[in-house]
Amino acid sequence: MTDAAPAIFLALEQSGFGAAIRQSRWLYPAANIGHIVSLVFFAGAVAVMDIRLLGGLAATKPRQVLARARSVAIAALAGMAVTGFMLFSAEASHLVLNPVFQLKAALVAAGLLNVAIYEFWARRAVEDLAPGAAMPPRARLAGLLSLGIWVAVAACGRSIAYF
């Protein structure tokens, strides 16, 4: 624990919830495994969506591919949020000051912003397209940004422990 962290993160770490995760023999490793397994499904679903947006899997209907992958991505994201919150609570005061964690948090925000922008400005145009139709440039850009941002998020996640 470090007193240099903002009070809310100290409180989270010192809460019964934070303590339970640290003191249980299996909760922390279970959350760790759950986080990685969720990441695997999230990355797979996102890759399928991004590839479609970038013009791959061109023979498929965009709406079908994207809708199915989206359900998996949302469920996996929820899994990562829950397990990530558990891991974070155990060491909140240190993590919030960790520069790689801060970068990761900013990248997650950027990734979600990219999703929001896509949903508002590109989704409709994309989903009504027929198989084989060219993807609009803004959809390609969203796919490219998504791929880059989420891979960077994963790299940051794995790097937190090294800084």
Partner 1 sequence: MRAIILTPLFVLLTGAAAAHHGWGSYDATRPVTVAGPIITSKFENPHATITVRTSEKVWTVTLAPTSRMSGRGATAQVIAVGQSVSAYGYPSTVEKDEMRAERITVDGKTYEMR
Site of interaction with partner 1 (CB under 8 A): 21-29, 90-91, 100, 144, 147-148, 151-152, 155-156, 158-159, 161-163
Nearer to partner 1, 63 or 158 (CB): 158
Nearer to partner 1, 23 or 64 (CB): 23
Helix (H, G, I), strand (E, B) or coil at 96: coil
Q: Does residue 126 contact residue 139 with C-beta atoms inside 8 Å?
A: yes
* Nearest distance in Å: CB 73, partner 1: 20
Nearer to partner 1, 21 or 139 (CB): 21
Residue count (the chain) = 163
Residue 133 phi/psi, 5° resolution?
Answer: -70, 150
* Nearest distance in Å: CB 147, partner 1: 8
Single out the residue of 85, 89, 120 nearest to residue 5, CA to CA: 89
User: Locate tokens 């013009």: which residue?
Assistant: 55
Nearer to partner 1, 78 or 109 (CB): 109
Q: Does residue 1 contact residue 10 with C-beta atoms inside 8 Å?
A: yes
* Nearest distance in Å: CB 162, partner 1: 4
